[in-house]
A and B are shown apart, each in its own frame.
Chain A
Amino acid sequence: MSSNNNRKKLLLMGRSGSGKSSMRSIIFSNYSAFDTRRLGATIDVEHSHLRFLGNMTLNLWDCGGQDVFMENYFSQQKDHIFQMVQVLIHVFDVESQEVIKDIEIFTKALNQLKKYSPDAKIFVLLHKMDLVQRDKRQELFQIMMSKLQETSAAYGFPDLVGFSTSIWDESLYKAWSQIICSLIPNMATYQSNLKKLKAVMDAREIILFERATFLVICSSNTATGELLDPKRFEKISNIMKNFKQSSMKLKSSFKTLVLDNTIFVSELSPNMMCFIVLNKSESPQELVLENIKKVRVHFQ
């Protein structure tokens, strides 16, 4: 049973062309936003099994969104698809012409989930936000979310979480970080360990990243009064992932990065990276790296 608990089933649903496979390819298969143009339509359900943080396996069910398949999911395959679902990620194309129909399919999915796995977490992504004018984005998101919230509450899923995303900026990383984080069981341990580490190292901030995807796992500062960029986590994910791609060109992957003697990026365990920002730059580099080495034991 415990091994079963570590297998998480994620349903990725949404109508055809809304960008589900693009997201999956960028986050989990190192595609660049450009590369996703080559992706064809998904036929039926495409399964991918991803190991995350070593002990967790994500079973990602990328469900093709054409109406033929959709009908099938809600009729013949419904018990197969909607059983034991931990997370439903429903993607909406903001440019879609048939919003009513999009929502209708969402309600169908909720209906099945209520029957087969009532404790599933629901996330909605308003995708392709880059196509909407900047000043209209917030408003559109509000309208859409209030509508969706209403719908999902009616089906017994009151706490709906929504993000506006685009593959062309870092908003995608933010959404997926939060989705994946909701599945990590020992988050409290990581958090407290990180707090201690921060005190020991006298750091401004420490962030933990998953190594392969560079999604944020947790950070040391939750609410300090510092004036830091609120989008910095996603931006770092984005920057580091780009760097990872470019280090691929030298036929290797990167191990450490030290910037100005204040920012240290280093591996912490085979599946985690830490991003440390120190308060001052005088401390000798060896000492900091030694500290990082010592702390590894606590994050296995």
Chain B
Amino acid sequence: MNADDASSKATILLMGLRRGGKSSICKVVFHNMQPLDTLYLESTSNPTMEHFSTLIDLAVMELPGQLNYFEPNYDSERLFKSVGALVYVIDSQDEYMNALTNFAIIVEYAYKVNPDINIEVLIHKVDGLSEDFKVETQRDIMQRTGEELLELGLDGVQVSFYLTSIFDHSIYEAFSRIVQKLISELPFLENMLDNLVQHSKIEKCFLFDINSKIYVSTDSSPVDIVMYETCAEFVDVTIDLHDLYKIQNGPDARPNEASGAIARPQGEVKSVSALNNGVVIYLRQMIRGLALVALIRPDDTDVESCLTVVDYNVDIFKKGLEQVWAHARIEPSPSQAGRKS
């Protein structure tokens, strides 16, 4: 039972006042919905649970925001115990005072039940705010939450804040950081990626989940949002082009698995693009619906030999990944297989 609890820690609880944008976040990040289509989403009235398998088995649970303040009862105790991260969504374009009071009450309860919980705050819908106003809002919200928590005697609680919007990459970036906190193997992964970067002329590399385009890990150099965007868009380009020319010559019902296996040894997607300033973008499919995307700067060496070294190193990296996760129980879910095959 205990072991089971530990493995199901990767549950994210998505909360917030009503019309804060919780369902939209869910749909955009995990279902590839167009941001504009989320304008017409219905109000969520029941707690909904969705599962996503990436490197870890991730579950996102969305609680409706209608409950006037948070009422502790028996069920919520069990719920908070099983949760790894609490994500609270605050609508930055609305009056957020109520939201902050609500948030403080939730944090107080959650922290009492489960002191290990990661508490994350999304200052959401910042796309409509000017650059100055964003900073101002964030500062204000941080200060006020601090005061609320101090009043409740909880000044030691670690709370992270993210400025997000579903209309750009900020929501993916925020979710990447949140999910990363739930991956217990993260230090090894980062170390492996660091090694990879050191030995092949890679400037930056990300391990992406292909479906959702959140990154589960990156090397230890700081993340530049521009690099992240470029890499995420490269995943899109690769998958879109790959899907256009899937081999479908066989008369059998599911020809992809058969003929695809002949065409590509491990059935893995690989794509390389060279830019005019010498930078090379490199993508290789890894295990469990992940893909490694790297920006390579060959500098003065020629591109071919550089790529050969990278290929060799990535092979080793992939073997490493396979070994670390060889004993994991989770099978790739059908939703994840659907996008690729």
Contact = CB atoms under 8 A, between A and B. Distances in A.
A257 interface: yes
25 contacts: A232-B244, A235-B240, A236-B241, A239-B236, A239-B240, A240-B237, A243-B233, A243-B234, A250-B295, A252-B275, A253-B276, A254-B276, A255-B276, A256-B273, A256-B274, A257-B271, A257-B273, A259-B238, A259-B241, A259-B269, A259-B270, A259-B271, A260-B269, A261-B270, A263-B245
A242 B237 contact: yes
A255 B230 contact: no
A38 interface: no
Given A239-B241, A252-B277, A260 B248 contact: no
B240 A255 contact: no
B326 interface: no
A240 B234 CA distance: 10
B226 interface: yes
Interface in A241-275: 242-243, 246-247, 249-263
Contacts of B279: 250, 252
Given A254-B276, A257-B271, A280-B263, 20 more contacts: A232-B244, A243-B234, A243-B237, A246-B233, A247-B230, A249-B226, A249-B229, A250-B227, A250-B230, A252-B277, A253-B275, A255-B273, A256-B274, A258-B273, A259-B270, A260-B269, A260-B271, A262-B245, A263-B242, A281-B264
Contact of B275 (A229, A236, A240, A254): A254
B304 interface: yes
B242 to A, nearest CB: 6
A243 B263 CA distance: 26
Contacts of A251: 277
Nearest to A280: B263
Nearest to B304: A286
B277 A250 contact: yes
A277 interface: yes
Nearest to B263: A281
Contacts of B227: 250
A204 B237 contact: no
Looking at A239, A247, A251, A263, the one whose CB has the most chain B CB atoms below 10 A away is A247
B296 to A, nearest CB: 12
Given A204-B245, A259-B241, A263-B245, A242 B274 contact: no
Looking at B234, B241, B263, the one whose CB has the most chain A CB atoms below 10 A away is B241
Looking at A204, A227, A232, A259, the one whose CB has the most chain B CB atoms below 10 A away is A259
A11 B53 CA distance: 53
B279 to A, nearest CB: 6
B272 interface: yes
A109 to B, nearest CB: 34
A297 interface: no
Contacts of B244: 228-229, 232, 235-236
Contacts of B275: 247, 250, 252-255
Interface in B226-280: 226-227, 229-230, 233-234, 236-238, 240-242, 244-245, 248, 263-264, 269-277, 279
A283 to B, nearest CB: 12
Contacts of B238: 259
B245 A228 contact: yes
Nearest to A256: B274
A263 B270 CA distance: 11
A262 B277 CA distance: 24
A133 B133 CA distance: 39
Closest 8 CB pairs of A and B: A252-B277, A246-B233, A259-B271, A257-B273, A252-B275, A243-B237, A255-B274, A256-B274
Contacts of A259: 238, 241-242, 269-271
Nearest to A261: B270
B240 A246 contact: no
Nearest to B307: A285
Contacts of A257: 237, 271-274
A90 to B, nearest CB: 28
A243 B277 CA distance: 15
B229 A246 contact: yes
Contacts of B270: 259-261
Contacts of B295: 250
Contacts of B276: 252-255
Interface string A69-102: 0000000000000000000000000000000000
A254 B245 CA distance: 21
B257 to A, nearest CB: 16
Contacts of B234: 243, 246
B1 to A, nearest CB: 45
A262 B238 CA distance: 12
A271 to B, nearest CB: 15
Interface in B176-192: none
A279 B233 CA distance: 27
A65 B270 CA distance: 48
Looking at B226, B245, B263, B275, the one whose CB has the most chain A CB atoms below 10 A away is B245
Contacts of A229: 244
A239 B248 contact: no
Given A250-B279, A258-B272, A263-B245, A242 B264 contact: no
Interface string A201-217: 00010000000000000
A133 to B, nearest CB: 14
A42 to B, nearest CB: 26
A252 B277 CA distance: 6
